[in-house]
Amino acid sequence: MTARLLLSAPDRPGLAAAVSGFVAEHGGSIVEADQYTDAEQGVLFQRVEFDLRGFDLDRDQLGAALGTVTNPFGMAARVRFSDDPRRIANLVPKQVHCLYALPARCDEGALPAEVAFVAGNHDIGREAAGRFDVPFHHLPVTGADRPEQEAAIVQLVESSGASSW
């Protein structure tokens, strides 16, 4: 089992070192890490996944202990565990084959998740979503109404309990 940290903070030296030091200090082993700095905004975004075998904190202790690293740096942090199933949204383009991959992986058990809904700006995905017994929402975009469509997607995510990250 792994834990995945999603972090963001005003960029400054020592952020990545503090996070990796925290993981090592508690017996974790980083299996994947990515980071990106938005130079224009001066914000670092980091994703760190680490193996929990040998980790000396349980999942209930991790969040509070992580505060010793995140608080001094003003980091926003989220923790997810690989064995926690997620509710996810499937936003599909006009190419329907893209719609099939996600629910199929969930049905096969290859992805520990449940598709909460499918949304698309083309009605072409309705039939495909129905094959997986997943609600479909047709949200067309004509150009000027893009903000309303995006707000509708956010509302669907929030009301369905789908993960927002």
In this structure, what CATH number is given to the domain that contains residue 33? 3.30.70.260
Of the candidates 66, 81, 96, which is a domain's last residue?
81
Q: Do residues 32 and 57 share a domain? A: yes
Q: Do residues 153 and 129 share a domain? A: yes
Residue at 165 is within a domain = no
CA distance 159 to 154: 9
Q: Do residues 113 and 153 share a domain? A: yes
Q: Do residues 132 and 150 share a domain? A: yes
Read off the tokens for 144. 């000027």
What's the structural domain count of the chain?
Answer: 2
Domain that includes residue 10, residue range: 2-81
Distances (CA, A) of 100 to 104, 115, 125, 157: 6, 11, 10, 19
Q: What's the CATH number where 130 sits?
A: 3.40.50.170
Residue 19: Cβ-neighbour burial (10 angstroms; 0-12, 13-18, 19+): buried
Q: pTM of this prediction? A: 0.66
* pLDDT for res 138: 93
Read off the tokens for 112. 């520990």
* pLDDT for res 164: 58
Q: Do residues 33 and 101 share a domain? A: no
Q: Do residues 99 and 115 share a domain? A: yes
Q: What is the pLDDT along the chain (165 residues), one digit of tens a residue?
A: 899 999 999 999 999 999 999 999 999 999 999 999 999 999 999 999 999 999 999 999 998 999 999 999 999 999 989 888 788 998 888 777 778 888 888 888 888 888 999 998 888 888 888 988 999 999 988 878 888 988 999 999 999 988 755
Of the candidates 81, 113, 134, which is a domain's last residue?
81
* pLDDT for res 93: 80
Residue at 110 is within a domain = yes
